Amino acid sequence: MHNSVARPTGDPSGVGERDDGAAEAGAAGAIWVVDDSEAIRVLAKSAFERAGWRVTAFEDLAGARDALAAGPAPDAVLLDIHLPDGNGLHDIGAFAATGAAVVVVSNVAGPDQVEAAFAAGAGDVVPKPFDLRSLLARVERAARAARAVRPVAPAAEARAAAGVGGAELG
């Protein structure tokens, strides 16, 4: 069966294939993948890069927090809930306050955690294991929604409003 959206590239998965030139131009934006699973980081990085995203991966919250404090914030964050140095649910608000679309992933998210994620500002919650095409579509949808309501304030002001410190970038 022919996929009218993806151009043939020899990759039978079609993950991240686009026919609008966005992948070459990097038009999708920047995404941070925050997950303690190396396999998830590698798979997500590959899929998002093929879809035109600039990807930075973090294995813990500390790395993502430090990067957020240093700025600039990403367009989207793929955030695991259970990380070695904390609960990702506690950081959703800081990422969302910068205008980033936050998509939470977890293999143990129950109804209470899903509700808490949305209440904190997550654009979506995706259960693990996930289909990469579905994940890409959900992140892109959340990023479009976040862009529509993104704060007009410069990134440093948005980080300050989120309670995240850091040097102001020019």
| Full pLDDT tens readout for the chain, 170 residues | 333 333 223 333 444 443 343 333 346 899 999 999 999 999 999 999 999 999 999 999 999 999 999 999 999 999 999 999 999 999 999 999 999 999 999 987 789 999 999 999 999 999 999 999 999 999 999 999 998 886 555 455 545 555 554 443 33
pTM: 0.74
H-helix or E-strand containing 77?
strand 76-80
Whose tokens are 């995706």? That residue is 126
Which residues sit opposite 87 in a β-bridge? 82
What CATH class is the domain 26-161? alpha beta
Q: Would you state the structure tokens that stand for residue 58, as one six-digit string?
A: 């973090």
Is residue 96 within 8 A of residue 163, CB to CB? The reply is no
H-helix or E-strand containing 19?
none
Q: Would you state the structure tokens that stand for residue 1, as one six-digit string?
A: 């069966």
108 C-beta neighbours (distance < 10 Å), count:
9
Backbone phi, then psi, for 72, in 5-degree steps?
-80, 160
H-helix or E-strand containing 33?
strand 29-34
Cα 69 to its chain centre, rounded Å, is 17
